[in-house]
Amino acid sequence: MDDALARCEARDELWYLAELLRINGELILLADASDGAAAAEAHFGRVLDCAHGQDELSWELRASTSLARLWRGQHRAAEARKLLGPVYGRFSEGFMTADLQRAKNLLEQLD
């Protein structure tokens, strides 16, 4: 993953940088290291910054969903809802897509 991120940045192929960072955050969580949650949270924050900068709502949704899921596991449901709810609310179509279905299900769990 580190090689893929380095190539992406070196070649200025930034259109998928946000997704690579998000996936890396998910992999960090799966590794279950002692500082994994903090590292993953930092990755997801970087993804959100990247998605905002590129005005990519779909990447923002994925990053918000990943971060909200992490926060839910840390008993930070109110923060998770505050993050994910507004991003989900900006969509006007595509509600049958897997990403929006995952976000909706997570929001329902946060209620």
Q: Among 1-5, 34-38, 56-60, 89-93, which is the least confidently predicted range? A: 1-5
Q: 98 pLDDT band (50/70/90 cuts)?
A: very high
Report the distance separating Cα 92 and Cα 20, nearest Å.
26
Share of the chain above pLDDT 90, in %: 59
The whole domain housing 75 covers 2-110
- Cα 81 to Cα 61: distance, rounded to the nearest angstrom: 12
Domains of the chain: total: 1
> In the chain, which ranges are continuous DSSP H helix?
2-10, 17-31, 36-54, 57-73, 77-89, 98-110
Asked if residues 106 and 65 have their Cβ atoms less than 8 Å apart, the reply is: yes
The reported pTM is: 0.88
CATH of the domain at 93: 1.25.40
pLDDT in tens, 13-58: 767 778 888 898 999 999 977 788 999 999 899 889 988 888 899 9
- What pLDDT is stored for residue 72 in this prediction? 96
